[in-house]
Structure 1
Amino acid sequence: MSQILKKYQVNSINNNEVKNVDFSNLSFWENANCLTDFSSPWDKNPISKIEFRALHDLENFYFNFRVFDTDVFIDKKDNSFDSIGNSDRVELFFRTNESLNPYYCLEIDTSGRIMDFKAHPDKDFDFNWNWPKNEIEVKTSKDEISFIVEGRISIQSLKDLNLIKNNALEAGVFSAKFSLAENLQYEPTWISWVDPNTETPNFHIASSFGKFIL
């Protein structure tokens, strides 16, 4: 039996609006629905507020994460995926179908580094795969109370990967927050839009996805 997916409405905008307005401008996002129902089902401690917004036009899917956190951890030892994986970040996953065969992952840290990879069930990751370079753009910024990770993904690349079906995308929206633990190591708190109902943190599972209605 197919799961009933949690839904988020991605409002459409006129292409002309984008040509005249920088998508990193706050006013650009006024027409977007604001998604805030994030949780960390495996952690009892309160999490920082997260706002997610998305819009689309004929050419691009636009996304914006605002995380109300100023104590940001970033691993700067190098620019490897390992380093990104040890940093505070936001994540967008897109799947072709409920069997996750395949699905595509974008994990973006607060400096705009992207860990992009193709995946198959049971955490079978292909790190040699990359999102087509000119089809994705990411920007980051911060203010006194939050950091922002936002970007655009071309509609064409989403179609080429067979991710848009019946004007919808099946997507996971996540965040990872690293905090200094008692053992003086940085330990992650895993945050998700959809509670996957797993005993331990796992985003790489069908039950962690919802649906973006375009």
Structure 2
Amino acid sequence: MKLYKVNNIPCNQLIITGKGNDKLWDKAVVLTDFNSPWEDIKHTKTEFKALWDRDYLFFCYKVTDATIHINNTDNSFNSINISDRVELFFRPNSSLNPYYCLEIDPTPRLMDFKALPNKNFDFNWNWPSEDLIIKSNITDKGYSVEGKISIPSLKKLDLIHNEKIETGLFRAKYYKTKKSSYEPVWITWVDPKTDEPNFHISSSFGVLKLESN
């Protein structure tokens, strides 16, 4: 499994703004190893960083993209589901029974749900709001999504084992077609080795390793 090292920082120091511009982010490993195994990616790049302290796991996506697509029909999951977004999936183990999904668009609207194998989704489940903070920022060059997840909530969901969190890192990028509709290209850190795009599968996950000082 691919492994990303999450460096440790002093507690209560990193400030979430949505821009990922806190100086402490300089301590993070920059992950740019994203691609689409199924289609060509055009004119866009994906960057991910993570840090942690005693209380929180921090994450930041920075997306280079001059043609952001956001469906503004309403604030429903249906609208988020057909917008550009970044995603984090967490699982206790490879059985995916269950796993937990955070999908965040550039505004940042959140689609969070619990899932079981074979894309059995429970949209009535939500990550506790007091344990998750997300912010975002949009520019003419792209967007960033920055957030923090409480360590206690990750532990309560049985997601940290031996300082490792099994995680999928993904992105959906919508391109306008010749028929003026929008179709997604699916971008991932880990190639799941599937013929068709599918992130809801055991082989799409890597590991976030919580490093000690």
TM over 0.5: yes
Shift of 1:174: 0.3
Task: State the match for 1:164 in structure 2.
Answer: 160
Change (3 A) 1:187 1:163: same
Aligned match for 2:68, one of 72, 82, 97: 72
Aligned-partner SS, 1:34:
coil
RMSD over aligned Cα atoms: 1.2
Shift of 1:49: 1.2
Matches within 5 A, 1:166-205: 166-205=162-201
Q: Percent identity?
A: 52
Q: Separation in 1 of the partners of 2:43 and 2:114?
A: 29
Indicate whether 1:118 and 2:111 are aligned: no
**Is the 8 Å Cα contact of residues 38 and 196 (structure 2) preserved in structure 1?**
yes
Change (3 A) 1:22 1:171: closer
1:50 is matched by which residue type in structure 2? T
* TM-score, length of structure 1 as denominator length: 0.94
- 1:83-107 deviations in Å (ceiling 9; x for gaps): 0000000000001110101000000
Aligned match for 1:15, one of 7, 11, 14: 11
Task: State the match for 1:146 in structure 2.
Answer: 142
Aligned match for 1:91, one of 77, 87, 93: 87
In the alignment, structure 2 segments of 5+ residues that lack a partner are: none
Aligned match for 2:28, one of 9, 28, 32: 32
Task: State the match for 1:137 in structure 2.
Answer: 133
Deviating beyond 6 angstroms after TM superposition, the runs of 4 or more aligned structure 1 residues are none
1:94 is matched by which residue type in structure 2? F
Shift of 1:47: 5.5
Shift of 1:16: 4.5
In the alignment, structure 1 segments of 5+ residues that lack a partner are: none
Aligned residues: 208
Indicate whether 1:51 and 2:47 are aligned: yes
**Is the 8 Å Cα contact of residues 84 and 173 (structure 2) preserved in structure 1?**
yes
